[in-house]
Amino acid sequence: MKNLKCKRLIAFLLSVSMMLSMLGCSKSETGVQSPQEEGQSLGKEGTQSLKDGTYVVKAKGHNGEMEVEVIFENGNIKDISLINHVETTVIGEGAFNAIKPVIIENQTLNVDLVAGATVSSAAILNAVSLAIEEAGGIPSDFKVNAVEKRTAKSEEITTDVVAIGAGVAGLATAIEAVDGGLNVIVLEKNGVIGGTTARSEGIIQAAGTQLQLDMGIEDTAESMFEGMKEVIGDTAEVDFDFVKMTTDQSAGHIQWLIDKGVPFQKEVKAVHIYEPRSIPREHFAEEKGSGLIENMAKYAEENGAKILLDTAATEIIKDGNKVVGVKATNKYGDDITIYAKAVVLAAGGYTGNKDLMKKLNPNVVDFVSGGMNQGDGYLLAESMGGDMIVRPDALYHFMYLLPTSIVNPGAIGFFTPELLLVAPDGNRYADEASYTFDRTNTIIDKGYDHVYAVVNQEFYEKHKEAVDEGIKFERAFKGETVQELAENMGLDSVALAKTVERYNELCDKKIDEDFNKPAEYLQKIEGPYYGLMLTSSIAETFNGVRINEYAQVIGTDGNVIEGFYAAGSCAMAQMTSQRYFGSGTAILNAITFAREASNHIISTLNR
């Protein structure tokens, strides 16, 4: 068993290595890295070897190839255009817009990668490097120039509201506040906006909307609330008055976003085939989460909000029991002090902070792989004496996005019901057609950190490339017999053989007497046999600061901290849990309490 664990660890490390290589993060593939030392300037006289002209090149980004056009004139880089890409819009284009002027102005590839968009940034720099090669130049000649950085300075600013974080909660805060006549500054530590929402499908759960009515769907907020209560069940710290606030306001949020310029797809979809998730309530923003964020930011800025990128909040300023501002710093190292009448914490969760996960969610810390969500919101709230809610659960599931790639996180689909799922003890543990988080809860209760999908030859033929890739890295396994498969997977061969035999018996009967999976998904497992190891993936964290119905932060003494508010993943423990209703619930929660925060600030200042 120890050997199997070692093999799994090696396989995981190899998988990560392969992913980084595929994504173009390695220096050998991109030819670029964030500069560590400043070089000497070559000036802008141009490079003799470069042939003038227009060159179109491709480089691998995060989601696929990025096509870039580079124009050389008189030995210089005259212009760069992003022709085509499949990156998340606000991330890929945000990185391009940040890097392009720096490259052209300084005639250099010695450019810092954009925080929050490092892979896209590297791809853009790699593309320009390839264009230089095609033009007969030497890319290293363009890595000598250093970008001159200005001297850090101190600055004081006065405003009405500061929102920390430019994700959906921070932007909703800004929109509601500027509509109420307030001056707003949004701080975003990354070089691009959007946070987790920008990378999401852009789904918002809502009931009683016009989009539903247009599809002939009759639904009510009360029905949605009852469904959420059923799913969440008896979870510590969840306040169903808060949950009801989100469902009651959900339809209004959709119309509010439409009024602010966010377009939605006409089709509303259901979370799942089973009740209470079977009523179509998933409202999809056009262009997914990126489109949602881009349009929200556009409205906020056009109506007076200022979004400061590459600017991280470092400290909340407090006068007695009242928050009066924020200290921040940016990529130049500036010492920025912002005095405000209210501060709204909207800085996301901590899925990328392994130390914080170890402290708050030790049972899932091994599944953290890094990322931009470093727990800034949690840590700032804690430093201010906020009453922190800590539960052992986090929102995680097993990598179910097959057949994209076994070795890539997110590989098997949320809904791949034809599989046979087994726990490490070799026994089937759930209806494979049930909702992913419901299945995950069963495994959590059993204390396992991974599961297996057993599939047949037909499945293999459909997804041969992905499965073969998994076999190379011991994330997928093959056996001519069930016993051989079990041995290769490190499972009890007797237990697995009994499980497969019983499952095939149920398939012949067309009745799942054990877990009630619908008959149309019962497909016999026949040799040769394949097993796919599925490990945990963390989607979101819930631990955060306690708030009241106005999103005001509650201190450890049980009293409100005046002028201090929180919304989004840093303040979501009171309205959701691992028993998650479905994609779009977190965004619904974030928008609800962000708007509540701004409306309370407006009413307080107008007294």
Comparing C-alpha atoms, which of 477, 475, 352 is closest to residue 404? 475
Q: Does domain 48-147 have CATH number 3.30.1360.40?
A: no
pTM here is 0.84
**How many of the other CB atoms lie within 10 Å of CB of 391?**
17
> Hey, do 48-147 and 401-539 end up sharing a CATH topology, with the first three levels equal?
no
Residues in a beta bridge with 343: 162, 564
Q: What pLDDT, in 10s, does the model give residues 545-580?
A: 999 999 999 999 999 999 999 999 999 999 988 889
Residue range 480-498, pLDDT digits in tens: 999 999 999 999 999 999 9
Cα(289)–Cα(466) distance, rounded to whole angstroms? 27
**Residue 517 pLDDT more than 90?**
yes
Quote the pLDDT of residue 22: 34
**Strand order, beta sheet including 76-84:** 53-60, 65-73, 76-84
Fold of 401-539: Flavocytochrome C3; Chain A, domain 1 (3.90.700)
Nearest Cα to Cα of residue 90 among 312, 296, 251:
296
Q: Which two tokens stand for residue 86?
A: 């499949």
Tokens for 17?
């290595």
The half-sphere exposure of 588 on its side-chain side, counting CA atoms within 13 A, is 33
What is the C-alpha R_g of the chain?
Answer: 26
Q: HSE on the CB side for 494, CA within 13 Å?
A: 0
Output the average pLDDT for the chain: 88
Per-residue pLDDT band for 365 (boundaries 50, 70, 90) equals low
Could you report the per-residue pLDDT of 187-231, keeping only the tens digit for each?
A: 999 999 999 999 899 999 999 999 999 999 999 999 999 999 999
Query: What residues pair up with 328 in beta bridges, in sequence order?
Result: 313, 336
Name, in order, each residue with C-beta under 8 angstroms of 390's C-beta and a sequence gap of 6 or more.
Answer: 360, 543
Question: Of all helices (H) and strands (E), which one includes residue 226?
Answer: helix 221-232
Q: Where are the alpha helices (DSSP H) in 199-259?
A: 210-214, 221-232, 240-259
| Lowest mean pLDDT across 81-90, 403-412, 552-561 | 403-412
Which CATH superfamily groups domain 157-392+541-605?
FAD/NAD(P)-binding domain (3.50.50.60)
Which contiguous run of DSSP H or E holds residue 477? strand 476-479
Which sign does the torsion angle of CA 567, 570, 574, 576 carry? positive
The ranges assigned to domains in the chain are 48-147, 157-392+541-605, 401-539
